[in-house]
Amino acid sequence: MSNQQYTANSIKSLKGLDAVRKRPAMYIGSTGSSGLHHLVYEVVDNSIDEALAGFCNRIDVIIHGDESITVSDNGRGIPVDYHNEEKMSALQLVLTTLHAGGKFDNSSYKVSGGLHGVGVSCVNALSSVLQVEIFRDNKIYFMEFKRGVPNDDVKIIGSTDLTGTKIKFKPDSDIFESVSFSFDVLSKRLRELAFLNKGVTITINDERSEEKFHEFCYPGGLSSFISYLDENKTPLHSEPICFNQSRDNIELEIAMQYNDSYTENIFSFANNINTIDGGAHLSGFKKGLTRCINTYISKNNLLKNNKVEIKGEDLREGLTAVISVKLSNPQFEGQTKTKLGNSIVSGIVESYVVDVLGMFLEENPSISKKIIEKCINSAVAREAARRARQIARRKTVMDGGGLPGKLADCSEKDPNKCEIFIVEGDSAGGSAKMGRDRTFQAILPLKGKILNVEKARIDKVISHEEIQIIVQALGTGFGKNVDDEGFDISKLRYNKIIIMTDADVDGAHIRTLLLTFFFRHMPELIEKGNVYIAQPPLYKIKSGSEERYVFNDEEKDLILKEWSERKNISIQRYKGLGEMNPEQLADTTMNPDTRILLNVKMEDVVEADRVFTMLMGEEVEPRRRFIENNATKVKNLDI
Ligand code: 0RA
């Protein structure tokens, strides 16, 4: 009888795991690189749960040489005892049944459980081999699975005085398109988890290479997160403002700090998941902030005779904040399930922010003064920007047509077929105009450098002539989406925006200025992949009648080696686009059949923000360090 039941239950779990193997994307999002990395997060999340329950403070991740992964923790260890109802060991149950986790731990709620909340059984199903060692009751238990199917019952293989869980798995190459892990991608998430779960030590060790190891542990939690995000910014007050509290069975943790930049940088998490589409916790925070600061302003009559209206966005200028909530029944909404739906959270966060931030403002008048001054300046600038935008629009209407005079437009009108080259200087612009295919390629020559938007408020940005010209040419308008005159990607006139600058220091600077502008004021263009960087050749190598264009030094060395027998080899180094004639420029850099374009991507918002602040911000020292550190390594700035 019991044997029969055992078999019945085993078959049931096999069927469950079979479903995972048949439709892996339904459980882990995709079978691409993101799904692959998700396997690691799924296992780590279980260890994090153990840490949140107060039983674990160390998690170690190893990427092995054969692309298998070990995650170990010093928690209680997955229970191994025989589970009467299910007729198998608890360990087998956890590793072979979907959503088995809740069956054991009724007392403490499961918090992380991954983006899709599927548990380690999915990792097991999608691994060609998974081995687990449990350190518990002074024994070491061992069990092995192949594609989710146990090889044998759980065995005792030794004794120990430690406790914990060690899971080693090798993702199944029949399932995943790529089985190669990225140290940087894993590191980024593990660092984030260490910020979000203060006091937990998380390490990652890459055995594929010799020097790659990180240890993350942040006793300061979210406060350390803010300091990391704002490492290169100048704060308005020395310490981040931090609160944390448990209310109505919801754990809230908020850290915030104002800096002297004009960028708003708010990250929200629910149960350790980065809710990039925000949701209830984020909207509660924003409402609370607006209500609290506005109350403070009117109570202390700080606007005096200033007739300006302060909006929410003014109160968030130069604000870096992290909001983390942990709750027992998170509802994740939206296509990517990255928006917190539990509407009750909004009111709780709002009233919490009003209470504690209100108290902070009262108790710290000198900090409050700086914050309020900044808010008022932002409102004044926003109003000035609106007027500048109106003037700019009236001017283009009067100019007729609304396209800048310097733009050599293309004849094709379908944006999907069109591209625009933003070119440094009039001479290169001239060559580009002659070399282009005028049916679908437009040329916009820039004179000199555009404004560094990292150091300018919105009103200045909008009044800058070269920026106005770029905005007019693109056709998208400019500014926050919320106001109806703002940026609208559907009006974009060219599917590809190609930055084409000289391969020298000035060219790199102009490129970075343009990228900073797009990143800060038209981030959608970068998110949607519309922005490209042209790659002009660095050298022309000639021998007799044979000519080769070369795009980097390695390529040059290869050709020189290949041609080592020949005499009369000449090498021409191109310092500027202007040194090429129109035909050469077209062949090497503009013609879609022969050119190389670099697509600018934003894979990591946090890193991108840090890089731009560093390159373009006020602080000189970190910039110098970055350039020194990377001068020899970086060929292309990928943000
Ligand atoms: C079920 C119940 C208990 C702990 C765990 C699972 C557990 C799972 C994982 C996965 C990775 N590390 C883990 N650590 C613990 C509670 C055990 C008890 O009550 O002693």
C-alpha dihedral (531, 316, 248, 202), degrees to nearest 10: 50
In this predicted structure, the answer to whether residue 636 has a pLDDT above a threshold of 80 is no
Cβ–Cβ contacts within 10 Å for residue 446, how many?
22
List, chain by chain if needed, residues with CB within 6 Å of any ligand 1 atom: 46-47, 50, 73, 75-76, 78-79, 94, 104-105, 165
Closest residue by CA, ligand 1 atom 5: 78
Q: Is 9 inside any structural domain? A: no
Ligand 1 centroid–CA 81 distance in Å is: 12
Q: What is the mean pLDDT of residues 610-626?
A: 70
Which member of 86, 172, 502, 609 is catalytic? 502
Cα of 105 to ligand 1 centre, how many Å?
8
User: How does pLDDT run across 151-187, given as a tens digit for each residue?
Assistant: 999 999 999 999 999 999 999 999 999 999 999 999 9
The number of the ligand 1 atom at minimal distance from the alpha carbon of 104 is 2
197 falls within a domain = yes
Q: Which of 333, 488, 506, 587 is catalytic?
A: 506
CATH classification of the domain holding 206 = 3.30.565.10
Measured from the Cα of 73, ligand 1's closest atom is 12
Taking alpha carbons only, the member of 141, 142, 137 closest to residue 162 is 137
Q: Which of 216, 235, 260 delimits the end of a domain?
A: 216
- The number of domains in the chain is 3
pLDDT confidence of residue 118: 65
> Band of the pLDDT at 615, cuts 50, 70, 90?
confident
Convert the pLDDT of each residue in 393-408 to its tens digit. 777 655 655 789 899 9
Please answer whether residues 282 and 267 qualify as being in contact, where contact means their C-beta atoms are separated by less than 8 angstroms: no
Q: Is 414 a catalytic residue?
A: no
* pLDDT in the model for residue 10: 75
Is there a single domain that holds both residue 184 and residue 256?
A: no
CA 57 to ligand 1 centroid distance, Å = 14
Tokens, residue 497: 């925006």
- Sort 466 into a burial class: Cβ within 10 Å, 0-12 / 13-18 / 19+: buried
Q: Kindly report the CATH number assigned to the domain that includes residue 312.
A: 3.30.230.10
How does residue 367 score in pLDDT terms, banded at 50, 70 and 90?
very high
pLDDT of 483 over the 60 cut: no
**Which range is least confidently modeled, 81-90, 175-184, 215-224, 468-477?**
81-90
Same domain, 151 and 208: yes
Residue 440 domain-assigned?
A: yes
State the chain's maximal CA–CA distance in angstroms: 90
Q: Are residues 207 and 227 in the same domain?
A: no
530 vs 475: CA distance, rounded Å = 14
Question: Catalytic: 86?
Answer: no
Q: Which of 216, 242, 258 is the last residue of a domain?
A: 216
Return d(Cα 485, Cα 473) in angstroms, integer: 16
| 504 assigned to active site | yes
pLDDT at 114 over 60: no
| 3-state secondary structure (DSSP) of residue 391 | helix
pLDDT at residue 626, rounded to an integer: 54
Assess contact for 308 and 379: CB atoms under 8 A.
yes
d(C-alpha 454, C-alpha 265), whole Å = 14
Is there a domain that residue 2 lies in? no
Mean pLDDT over residues 15-27, rounded? 90
Residues 425 and 519 in one domain: yes
pLDDT band at 630 (very low <50, low <70, confident <90, very high): very low
Residue that terminates a domain, selected from 167, 195, 216: 216
What's the gap in Å between 331 CA and the centre of ligand 1? 24
- Comparing 400-409, 438-447, 469-478, 490-499, the range with the smallest average pLDDT is 400-409
Mark whether 197 and 274 lie in a shared domain. no
Q: Is the pLDDT of residue 210 over 80?
A: no
**pLDDT above 70: residue 112:** no
Same domain? 113 vs 201: yes
User: Is 260 one of the annotated active-site residues of the chain?
Assistant: no
Q: Following DSSP, what letter does each residue of 20-46 receive, concatenated?
A: HHHSHHHHHS-SSHHHHHHHHHHHHHH
| CA dist 409 → 368, 466, 493, 515 (Å) | 50, 17, 10, 22
Looking at the domain assignment, is residue 331 inside a domain? yes
Helix, strand or coil for residue 143?
strand
Sheet strands (E) in 535-585: 539-543, 546-550, 569-573
- The rounded Å distance from CA 40 to ligand 1 centre is 17
pLDDT grade, residue 391 (50/70/90)?
Answer: confident
User: Chain centroid to CA 113: how far?
Assistant: 21
Same-domain check for residues 348 and 237: yes
Q: Is residue 581 part of a domain?
A: no
Confidence of residue 616 (pLDDT cuts 50, 70, 90): confident
Catalytic residue among 309, 362, 504, 562: 504
For residue 150, the model assigns a pLDDT of: 95
Q: Compute the distance between CA of residue 413 and CA of residue 602 in angstroms, rounded to an integer.
A: 28
Q: How far apart (Å, rounded) are the C-alpha atoms in residues 598 and 635?
A: 11
The verdict on 116 and 163 lying in the same domain is yes
To 10 degrees, the CA torsion angle through 360, 362, 365, 370? 60
The structure's pTM equals: 0.86
CA-nearest residue, atom 7 of ligand 1 = 78
Same domain, 195 and 259: no
Shortest-distance atom of ligand 1 to CA 165: 12
Compute how many other C-beta atoms are within 10 angstroms of the C-beta atom of residue 209.
10
For residues 55 and 96, membership in a common domain is answered with yes
Residue 586 belongs to a domain: no
Rounded Cα gap, residues 320 and 318, in angstroms: 7
User: Are residue 354 and residue 410 in the same domain, yes or no?
Assistant: no
CB atoms within 10 A of CB 557: 11
Residue 575 covered by a domain: no
- 318-327, 480-489, 588-597 — which one is most confidently predicted on average? 318-327
pLDDT of residue 337: 87
Range of the domain at 338: 222-380
Q: Are strands 419-424 and 441-446 parallel, antiparallel or unpaired?
A: parallel
pLDDT at 248: 79
The verdict on 479 and 602 lying in the same domain is yes
> From ligand 1's centre to the CA of 104, what distance in Å?
8
